[in-house]
Each structure stands twice: as structure tokens, then as C-alpha cells.
Amino acid sequence: MEGDKVATNLAINEELLNTTYEIGGYSTKKETVNTALEEFIERRKSEELIQLFGKIEYHPSYHYKKMRSR
């Protein structure tokens, strides 16, 4: 779906859009929305990874400190 264009008729909150547009310094409102969506996706993906912390079990012979030495 990357690069696909979708014609929409969304009722976007103008106040939020204008504030984001100004803060981000974007050249168009389209760029503002696309960047906001990309950042939203990246944040959610990061949150999913954070949920894995402390849940991965390593093999008993795995020594991360030893692997760091050159």
C-alpha cells in the first residue's frame, strides 16, 4: 500500500491540523498529515517492542558481556 493514494473526504479537526502544521513547519497540510501518520505508526511499533523487555529468555550459555569484547 506504500505510495498508494486515497481520495478522502475526512472531517479533520482544523485546530489540531493547524497547530501541527505550524509546530512542524511543514510546507503543506498534506505533508503534515502524512508525517503525523508515519510518526504515529513508528511510535506504536516502538511501544510493541518495549512490551517485550524482560520477556525474552536467553540460552544459559549466552553471555552478552563476553560478546561485547573485541
* pLDDT at residue 2, as a whole number: 60
Closest CA to 18 of 4, 6, 28, 3: 28
The reported pLDDT for the residue numbered 38 is 96
What's the half-sphere exposure (Cβ side, CA atoms, 13 Å) at 4? 4
pTM above 0.75, yes or no: no
Contact between residue 26 and residue 35 where contact means Cβ atoms under 8 Å apart: yes
Per-residue pLDDT of the chain (70 residues; tens, 9 = 90+): 566 777 778 899 999 999 999 999 999 999 999 999 999 999 999 988 888 888 888 888 888 788 787 6
Nearest to 33 by CA among 25, 21, 41, 22: 21
